Amino acid sequence: MTPGSVLRGENPKDSGARRMGAPTEALDRALSLVRWNGFILFLLGATDIGLTWLPLNFGNREWGFATITASFNGMPIILIGLMLVVVACTLDGRRWWGFGAGVVAVGFLLLVVGGTTLWATNVPLALGSVEGIALTGLKKAIFKTSVQSVVLPIAFGIVAYHGFKAFKAG
């Protein structure tokens, strides 16, 4: 909502795209498509990560290392899904969808931070358990997960920020 929009009689839920003359029905369909496909991507990613954790084997350090590494590999699908939901709700004025996506993004941010802590304690064990050509693959996995452990919390934080911002603006 811009200053003076209330005085001009503009609907605060109208997005910039609607004010620029996009057909309302087509825009509504497009936003619905983006929102629901974001939700579907989120569910697919969450299912993939959830199945990675089964069967539970807490106490087994090799299982913890491999499970967290595999979970981080699936996080971008969840991130894209949440981002699509936030984009659609920001343009459509669905503030509670934005709030929900923000809360979920904060939850995944905390999971990544906690998972990184657990994963980092297992790195020395993993490095000591392999040698030869397998060590090269392990080092690549460690590097990739290290990058993900920095980038994913930032990305989830950005999505959460914009989700909460969409809620507050609504």
Residue type, 111: L
Residue (of 145, 26, 45) closest to 85 by Cα position: 45
Residue type, 87: V
102-121 confidence digits (pLDDT tens): 999 999 999 999 999 999 99
45-68 confidence digits (pLDDT tens): 999 999 999 998 888 888 888 899
Q: Strand (E) positions, the chain?
A: none
Q: Which domain holds residue 143?
A: 21-169
In a domain, 8, yes or no: no
In a domain, 105, yes or no: yes
In a domain, 3, yes or no: no
Q: Can you tell me the distance from the alpha carbon of 75 to that of 79, in angstroms, rounded to the nearest whole number?
A: 6
> Domain count of the chain?
1
68-87 confidence digits (pLDDT tens): 999 999 999 999 999 999 99
Does residue 88 contact residue 94 with C-beta atoms inside 8 Å?
yes
